[in-house]
Amino acid sequence: MQKLEELYTGKAKSVFRTDDPDRFIMVFRNDTSAFDGKKVAQLERKGMVNNRFNAFIMEKLAAAGIPTHFERVLSDNEALVKKLEMLPLECVVRNYAAGSICRRYGLEEGMVLNPPTFELFLKSDALGDPMCNEYHVHSFGWATEEQIARMKELTFRINDVLQPLFLAGNMLLVDYKLEFGLFNGELMLGDEFSPDGCRIWDKDTREKLDKDRFRQDLGNVVEAYEEVGRRLGVSFA
Ligand code: ADP
Ligand code: UDP
């Protein structure tokens, strides 16, 4: 597999073309950003940790029958993935209230959301990722009704796989963001699943073990990500 030119530099990852027209290489960088890119930092080891973490989760999901873009880890910081036509959406699942939902609706952090809530956001840095509903997505042509239904179905199946996995490590999977794309017309999970895109709390102490450590200047960010991985059984280099 030959790595060709860089096609896209995101806030935390870069995407490279390969000699296979259907495959991209995703590079997990040490860059970290929050608040729409207003707060940035370099965190040593984060790229490697997120790459290994993501591979572990993607493999668990694939084993449970969830279609994903993930193919294999290529190096500490690189993964081979299917080239997807990404839908411009972020699907957020919330099992407990935290972050923007508390600010928006005045909910107390930690409130159990039963059933879990599903939200859609337009992926647009320029517009600040505005929340949108299914009618917006459909009417504005961002995805078809069928694709919306499939994203919801896969999202809740993913929740059914991941919630017990984290619970077995004495952790609460509070919320997370997923991105989907199309490969030969088939909708599948793309992007990444790592502590950069979710909230994870220790079940007993409610200690934050995710990117909120960076957002809120709590320190030991990558150490917390590794702790989550260790509890799940991820092996890091
Ligand atoms: P952002 O774009 O939010 O700054 P990243 O730094 O994570 O995010 O960049 C990764 C980019 O690659 C994202 O825009 C994501 O939608 C895109 N992407 C993820 N998986 C794939 C894939 N399989 N094929 C094409 N693009 C992908
Ligand atoms: N999230 C993400 N990328 C985004 C927006 C949100 O990964 O662009 C994740 C975030 O880490 C959290 C969940 O989605 O796990 C819900 O985020 P929320 O809407 O509460 O936003 P925040 O409080 O982070 O602004």
The pLDDT tens digits for 110-158 are: 999 999 999 999 999 999 999 999 999 999 999 999 999 999 999 999 9
pLDDT, mean over the chain: 97
pLDDT attached to residue 184: 98
**Tens-digit pLDDT profile for residues 42-83:** 999 999 999 999 999 999 999 999 999 999 999 999 999 999
Q: pLDDT band at 212, cuts 50/70/90?
A: very high
Ligand nearest to the CA of 89: 1
| Residue from 95, 113, 124, 175 whose mutation best tests the ligand 2 pocket (most atoms within 8 A of CB) | 175
pLDDT attached to residue 65: 98
Sequence spans of domains, the chain:
3-82, 87-221
pLDDT attached to residue 36: 87
3-82 matches 87-221 in fold:
no
Query: Crossing angle, helix 46-63 and helix 221-232, to 10 degrees?
Result: 30
Q: pLDDT band at 237, cuts 50/70/90?
A: confident
**Tens-digit pLDDT profile for residues 187-198:** 999 999 999 999
CA-proximal residue: ligand 1, atom 5 (nearest): 10
Q: pLDDT band at 85, cuts 50/70/90?
A: very high
Q: What is the mean pLDDT of residues 156-161?
A: 98
Taking Cα atoms as reference points, which of 219, 217, 177 lies closest to residue 200? 177
Q: pLDDT band at 2, cuts 50/70/90?
A: very high
Percent of the chain with pLDDT over 90: 98
Q: Are 228 and 196 in contact (CB under 8 A)?
A: no
* pTM score, whole prediction: 0.98
Q: Where are the alpha helices (DSSP H) in the chain?
A: 46-63, 100-105, 134-139, 145-168, 212-215, 221-232
Ligand 1 within 6 A of CB of 182? no
Angstrom distance (rounded) from CA 194 to CA 225:
8
| CATH of region 87-221, choose from 3.30.70.3400, 3.40.1180.10, 3.40.1350.10, 3.30.470.20 | 3.30.470.20
Residue 216 has pLDDT above 80, yes or no: yes
What is the distance in A from the centroid of ligand 1 to the CA of 191?
A: 5
Percent of the chain with pLDDT over 70: 100
pLDDT attached to residue 1: 86
Q: Are 214 and 221 in contact (CB under 8 A)?
A: yes
Angstrom distance (rounded) from CA 105 to CA 97:
10
Ligand nearest to the CA of 33: 1
Fold observed for domain 3-82: Phosphorylase Kinase; domain 1 (3.30.200)
pLDDT attached to residue 129: 96
